[in-house]
Amino acid sequence: MITFDGVSKRFPDGSLAVDDFSLTIPSRTTTVLVGSSGSGKTTLLRMINRMVDPTSGRILIDDEDVAGLDPVKLRRRIGYVMQNSGLLPHRTVIDNVATVPILEGVKKSEAHARALELLDTVGLDRGLAKRYPAQLSGGQQQRVGVARGLAVDPNILLMDEPFGAVDPLVRDELQQELLRIQRDLSKTVVFVTHDIDEAFLLGDQVVILRTGGVIAQAGTPAEILANPIDEFVASFVGADRGKRSLHVDPAHTSGERGERVLVDGGGRAVGILRDEAPAPRSPGAVAP
Amino acid sequence: MNSLLGALAWLGDPVNWTGERGIPVRLLEHLGITSAAVLVAAVIAVSLGLYIGHTGRLSFLVVSTTGALRALPTLGLLVLFALWLGVGIGPVILVLVILAIPPLLAGAYAGVESVDRGTIDAARAMGMTEWQILTRVEIPLGLPIIVGGLRSAVLQVVATATIAAYLPIGGLGRYIFDYLPLRRFEPVFAGAILVTLLALVLEGVFAALQRLTVPKGVRILQGSPAARGGSGRARVELASGSPAATAHAQGASGPPQRRSDSVSAENSTSLPTQ
């Protein structure tokens, strides 16, 4: 469990990134911090592993104040995945994944064996192990980033817009992959994004932030969709534009089996209404 | 001109003409003076440059020292130091160290500074200590530029080490300084040519060294921008035995890896996991 207790952060230039922020992040679930730029979401994330120290307030991991922990030791037991993978360009994929275990004194052969298993976990071909990051696609680099984040088998995984720089198809694939990994491993994931759809897909708990790290609304995706607390949230999730209220449009109902086409408040066809939920997508079935 | 002739007249002592003052000995002396000066300067300037580059503190030192130290006239400084410390190897090394500091300092600083901030941030976030960030990320990635500073320092020092003969210490400068007053221009010219050749050889060696220090992963990044997107073309370039691939055979991909292209790998989620 991660607890923010009245946390504020004022940067040396005087700007107040986060003001009196309090939140509890339950263990073994995914919490998504979502907001536009300037909402302080990345600052909040980076306070958990002490990449940023708060000006006031406390951050507790399982009731232990992180301010009293050695930053290096703390960071080594927390996985961190960032937007542009942050891979070391001069090291191969396998060396990148094994970096922290080797720093922690794990034997190289053991660390490499574990790194190969992690490539399986994130859905990468083991044949890529000796490649350099520059030889991988953006999506592959992000997978390596996730594998590296998991390398020390951390309880906590911090993800800072990890899928922000890849194209939509690959992003979709990576999101499904993360859901699958989370089903298997049940980490405490803190995920930062500006994409509300991504937040609703991945988050058990979604925290919508206004400028300055103020919580506009926190809850499950269903709670937020059903009851946007104010106009800001309604606008952020797209409810005010009718994006979230769907109806069956008789004019569009067609096809041999009489598929009922769903249309959103803006008149845009968004999908087909079925009586049964589709079978869960297996990762391999994802479009290329 | 008279004082110069006087000093040179002393240099004209027959003892200096014997066989053990031959070219090999002079060459070794010249290299010895050069490496001693560059080594001392490197200990000072490279550590300082790495510190400044890593912490971002004292960066004004790089600008001010590189400008100010370069403006100092080396020969004038040598005379000054000789008057102060007495004639000997000390003043020579001292002026050459001062000459070598600016390029070494600038190279070390610029090398560390050139490393992508995102890479350093990621290294810190995953739990590297500041020392590990410096030695495992910043130095390996900045090494080509750091070596570039060394290359420039060596070149300047090896050419200027000729003035070691002025004091008179050894080195190839002795042929120039020893024979000029005797109007025996043959050895003077020979000395000048030897110094030039030595400088050119060292320049070639360090240029090669600089290329060798580019990490393979970075060379791929620079060499073929297409590799970033994971296109097949980049892989073909690599597999077809480019210098980058052959130079680091142990890291180069074997045939099975060459066959697996990025597209199939991207979809490899469908493969059974062990």
Residue B270 lies in a domain: no
Which chain A residues contact residue B215 at CB under 8 A?
89-90
Which chain B residues contact residue A92 at CB under 8 A?
217, 251
Last residue of a domain, one of B193, B214, B235: B214
Whether residue B38 is found in the same domain as residue B109 = yes
Distance from CA of B251 to the nearest CA of A (A): 7
- Tell me what the mean pLDDT of segment B195-205 comes to: 92
If one counts the domains in chain A, the total is: 2
Whether residue B49 is found in the same domain as residue B103 = yes
Whether residue B60 is found in the same domain as residue B192 = yes
Last residue of a domain, one of B159, B183, B214: B214
- Interchain contact, A127 vs B269, CB within 8 Å: no
Which chain B residues contact residue A149 at CB under 8 A?
126
- Interchain contact, B230 vs A136, CB within 8 Å: yes
| Segments forming the whole domain that contains residue B199 | 2-214
Which chain B residues contact residue A82 at CB under 8 A?
118, 121-122, 125
Among A103, A128, A138, select the one facing B265 at the smallest CB separation: A128
Whether residue B226 is found in the same domain as residue B209 = no
Whether residue A209 is found in the same domain as residue A275 = no
Whether residue B36 is found in the same domain as residue B154 = yes
C-beta contacts of A140-145 below 8 A and 24+ residues apart: A140/B230, A140/B262, A140/B265, A140/B266, A141/A84, A141/A85, A141/A87, A142/A81, A142/A85, A142/A166, A142/A174, A143/A174, A143/A177, A144/A85, A144/A87, A144/A93, A144/A96, A144/A97, A144/A119, A145/A81, A145/A82, A145/A85, A145/A86, A145/A87
Question: Closest residue of A to B215, CA-based?
Answer: A90
- Interchain contact, A128 vs B257, CB within 8 Å: yes
Residue B266 lies in a domain: no
For residue A241, is pLDDT > 80? no
Whether residue A226 is found in the same domain as residue A284 = no
Question: Closest residue of B to A97, CA-based?
Answer: B126
What mean pLDDT is reported for chain B? 76
- CATH number of the domain residue B29 falls in: 1.10.3720.10
For residue B41, is pLDDT > 70? yes
Q: For A190-237, what is each residue's pLDDT tens digit?
A: 999 999 999 999 999 999 999 888 999 999 999 998 888 998 998 888
Question: Closest residue of B to A288, CA-based?
Answer: B267
| Segments forming the whole domain that contains residue A267 | 245-288
Whether residue B110 is found in the same domain as residue B78 = yes
pLDDT band at B237 (very low <50, low <70, confident <90, very high): very low
CB pairs < 8 Å spanning A and B: 143
- Interchain contact, A89 vs B271, CB within 8 Å: no
Whether residue B186 is found in the same domain as residue B225 = no
Whether residue A252 is found in the same domain as residue A228 = no
If one counts the domains in chain B, the total is: 2
d(CA B130, CA A224): 43
Whether residue B242 is found in the same domain as residue B190 = no
* Per-residue model confidence (pLDDT) at position A255: 58
Query: Taking CA A83 as the corner, what is the angle to CA A81 and CA A89, rounded to the nearest 5 degrees?
Result: 80
Q: Which of B214, B236, B268, B270 to mutate against chain A (most A CBs within 10 Å)? A: B268
Question: Closest residue of B to A146, CA-based?
Answer: B126
Whether residue B235 is found in the same domain as residue B200 = no
Whether residue A206 is found in the same domain as residue A185 = yes
Q: For B150-167, what is each residue's pLDDT tens digit?
A: 999 999 999 998 888 877
